[in-house]
Amino acid sequence: MAGALIGVALLNGFTKNIIDKLLTTDTVNLVLGKKLGPDLVQRLTTSLMGAEALVADAELKQFGNPPVRKWLQSLRDAVYRAEDLLESVLIKAEAEEKVPSFGPNRFISNRDTEMVDKMEGVVRRIEDLKELKDFLRLEQISTDSSSWRIPSGSVVKGNVHGREDDKKALINMLNHNNEHHSSVIAIVGIAGVGKTTLAQWLFNNQEEEFLKGFDGKAWVCVSEKFDIVETTRLIKDKLQITCILNDIDSLQCALKEQLSNNKFFIVLDDVWSYDVDKWSKFMTPFQQNGKKGSIVLLTAREEKVTSAVQNCRSFFLNKLSEDDCWSVLADNASFPLSNGSATLAEIGKKIAKKCDGLPLAAETLGSLLRPKHDIEKWNKILTDDIWDFSLEETYNFEKDELISLWMAEDLLPPPKARETLEDVGSECFDELTSRSFFTKIQDKSAYYYYFVMHDLFHDLAIFLSGDFYCNLEKLGENEEIRIQTRHLRVNLHDCSSKPQNSISKLESLRTLLSNKFSKIEIATCDILSKCKYLRVLSSHRLDMLPNSIGELIHLRHLDLSETEIETLPESLCTLSCLQTLKLYGCYKLTTLPIGLCNLVSLRHLDTRRTCLEEMPRKMSKLNQLHILSSFVVGKHGDNGIQELGGLVNLHGSLEIKKLENIADVKEAKGAKMMDKKHLDGLRLEWCSGGDMVSSSQTERDILDNLQPHNHLKELAIDGYKGTIFPDWIGHLSYQYMTEVSLVSCKNCCMLPSLGQLPYLKSLSIGGLDQLKRIGMEFYKSEGDHHSSRIAPFP
């Protein structure tokens, strides 16, 4: 059920996205109406809305129903096609506005006619699919307010396998509570690990003496929406407390009075909210109330939920062993462990292994197997398509990279006021992480972390994506790439000439990801000239980008990292939709295209570990830039540091190189570094060379005018040629500063008052040749002419 609703969200969200973004915006609609005709646009809107209403039911019925699954695939293909055509119309219309018209253009007229014919075909296709609803017995159902989660109850469904140690530990935690009033405990663990089952066992336990004799017990399933009034009312009803009014004050007063001299057991199951203010208000009746032995028990997936609840202690629940998973599966399948079929047991243990220690998965599969105690049917579950794509090693990815891909594919809802698209992506990512879709893994070095996707979720996503996703590494020797493929991954050495030739036939391809080991030669296999609708292109095996890149007008994400590319064609600068350009590790790249400033949609520009000599002109026009990894100061007026002045939306870390090219203080001031409120890290670098300067005071004034905002966390200064650092470095107002690096500042004879930074964790100093001793400067106190005696580096 959960998997089906993932699909609902994908396709429902996709069609809704088109309707909202392309077909209900007045300005956009006007352009589409002129190019396609208002009647055709209205027919498309109506047909999409009609089909969308059936998607939820179709997603639920697709399993075990090939005609419905095929209907869904056809609808998704048509929706993809509609969006591609609509965007083509809008992008080309925008381009035509920039080109002066000197009379009728026959080419444009013919092109428009061809576009209308294509769209007419798509609309008819969607209308025909909608007409099949009666034949497929599809009904209109709403998913707006429904939840696939069934509210939990306090009754234990069956045996609790593999939790003996956890039971003892929980009992011990509660039994040794020395508080005079209630204990607040939270069982924390990933989805499906058995938190609710363990809470149910504890709630119903009559063996332990201190778990007996409660004056009142209440079980409430909280789920996503934590409404403190409704939750308090439910507890009041479960405890059979009389209260005429239903406002929060009246409810809490009645609850507090009832609990004051009684022993109670309250369970709040499936808690998601980590709103501290809400919890502070909600917990008021339970604080300093109840006899010793009273319990408030929560179950939650994340520790940050429990950290929002005052005086709450966490108990972390781990996965089950394979043997215990098999016991859960067998129990739910009514399979006798003692005298059951040995062959069935062997198959069942393999199925249990796929559950990866999650009892909920074992329970669900066990229920499916209950009426099917024969080898053929159990083998069918074991070899079902949904398991076919299991990974031996899980794919690692970074949060920002995935959000960038979501943006490129238009999968994110529009941002609210004062939100960026990246903020929306971060919220979605964090939500999926909280629901265990993604898991955060710390690198062995402890300085780096990444995310992985659980194999079960990965397999489910592949299953639901159907023919629209293809990994060439997983393609059988006699299998062909399906023409419906929109997202293609090319790994390792898996691209033989046969599939390589097939790629250029995928005219509707949207995503092409290939790594540096792939033998595919993108520039020579007609991909760039045939796949006109590419939105994402990631290739790590290019040494040249052809001019035809400019024909990919839909392209939003271009990743050429760690290639041997030396130059980028000027045609790249015509891609008005391009959001992300990644050139990390392109060590042979020395210049960027002159017209880069025309990429007005550009939000991410990564040029780390390149050899850029200077920035192209008029970078200030790129006012949508969210991430700019580095800026190499040029010597001319239109590529100097003052071009940074217009880039006020920069986030993350920024490196500014070749600061020796700043001619005067006025240029440094023009960078408006203080206005870049979202920067976390800043690196200021002067290139190595002669250390003699005409005026050390000018050098200091330049650095003084590069002062960042005081929420900065990391600061690095490399090659500064002044003799004294300006006062802002080490100023106690930088309360968020955790890391400072001062390197190769060879003329400096005194350190700044870094000891006053209250949260400094890392300090690196090297290559300060004129520094003879470290003295009282670390003790410097603002407003005090004498050295403070407070120890530095708190």
Report pLDDT for 493: 54
For the residues 617-622, what does the mean pLDDT come to? Answer: 96
Contacts with 402 (C-beta within 8 Å, 6 or more apart), sequence order: 429, 451
Spatial strand order in the sheet of 312-316 = 216-223, 264-271, 295-300, 183-188, 312-316
Res 685 pLDDT > 90: yes
Which tops the pLDDT comparison, 145 or 30?
30
Q: What CATH number labels 613-794?
A: 3.80.10
Nearest to 518 by CA among 541, 486, 497, 498: 541
Report pLDDT for 645: 95
Res 388 pLDDT > 60: no
Tell me which residue has tokens 């609309």.
123
Which tops the pLDDT comparison, 104 or 773?
773
pLDDT tier at 389, thresholds 50, 70, 90: very low
For the residues 382-406, what does the mean pLDDT come to? Answer: 73
Report pLDDT for 368: 77
Kindly report the number of other CB atoms within 10 A of residue 117's CB atom. 9
Res 504 pLDDT > 50: yes
Lowest mean pLDDT among 3-12, 416-425, 452-461, 710-719: 3-12
Report pLDDT for 96: 79
How far is the C-alpha of 207 from the C-alpha of 212, rounded, in Å? 8
The overall average pLDDT reported for the chain is 84
Tell me which residue has tokens 């300005």.
27
For the residues 682-708, what does the mean pLDDT come to? Answer: 88
Q: Which of the following CATH numbers is that of domain 164-316: 3.40.50.300, 3.40.50.1400, 3.40.50.1580, 3.50.50.60? A: 3.40.50.300
Res 64 pLDDT > 80: no
Report pLDDT for 103: 45
Please give the structure tokens belonging to residue 88.
């083509």
Tell me which residue has tokens 């590319």.
565
Report pLDDT for 453: 81
Running DSSP on this structure, what letter comes out for residue 387?
Answer: G
**What distances in angstroms separate CA 348 from CA 330, 371, 376, 720, one per listed residue?**
8, 14, 12, 68
pTM of the model: 0.76
Res 472 pLDDT > 50: yes
Running DSSP on this structure, what letter comes out for residue 586?
Answer: -
Report pLDDT for 212: 82
For the stretch 183-206, pLDDT in tens is 889 999 887 788 988 999 989 888
pLDDT tier at 690, thresholds 50, 70, 90: low
For the residues 585-599, what does the mean pLDDT come to? Answer: 96
* Rounded (10°) CA dihedral 684, 688, 689, 693: 20
Report pLDDT for 540: 79
Report pLDDT for 159: 75
Share of the chain above pLDDT 70, in %: 87
Angle separating helix axes 66-98 and 38-61, nearest 10 degrees: 150
Res 474 pLDDT > 80: no
Tell me which residue has tokens 């005298």.
339
Report pLDDT for 1: 29
For the residues 344-369, what does the mean pLDDT come to? Answer: 85
Report pLDDT for 244: 80
For the stretch 318-330, pLDDT in tens is 998 999 999 988 9
Please give the structure tokens belonging to residue 11.
């396709």
Listed in order, strand segments (DSSP E) in 487-591 are 487-490, 511-514, 536-538, 557-559, 580-582
Report pLDDT for 93: 86
Report pLDDT for 160: 83
Running DSSP on this structure, what letter comes out for residue 483?
Answer: T
Res 343 pLDDT > 50: yes
Report pLDDT for 787: 47
pLDDT tier at 154, thresholds 50, 70, 90: low
For the stretch 449-469, pLDDT in tens is 888 886 667 777 787 788 899
How far is the C-alpha of 305 from the C-alpha of 270, rounded, in Å? 11
Sort strands 536-538 and 557-559 into parallel, antiparallel or unpaired: parallel
Report pLDDT for 146: 42
DSSP states along 330-345? HHHTT--TTTS-HHHH
Report pLDDT for 434: 72
pLDDT tier at 10, thresholds 50, 70, 90: low
Res 557 pLDDT > 80: yes
Share of the chain above pLDDT 90, in %: 39
How far is the C-alpha of 579 from the C-alpha of 625, rounded, in Å? 9
pLDDT tier at 492, thresholds 50, 70, 90: low
- Do residues 274 and 304 make contact, with C-beta atoms less than 8 angstroms apart? yes
For the stretch 283-320, pLDDT in tens is 988 877 778 888 899 999 888 888 888 888 999 999 98
CB half-sphere exposure, 705, CA atoms < 13 A: 19
pLDDT tier at 509, thresholds 50, 70, 90: very high
Q: Would you call 432 exposed, middle or buried from its count of C-beta atoms within 10 A (0-12, 13-18, 19+)? A: middle
Residue 107 corresponds to which amino acid?
F
Report pLDDT for 534: 94
Report pLDDT for 781: 56
Report pLDDT for 106: 42
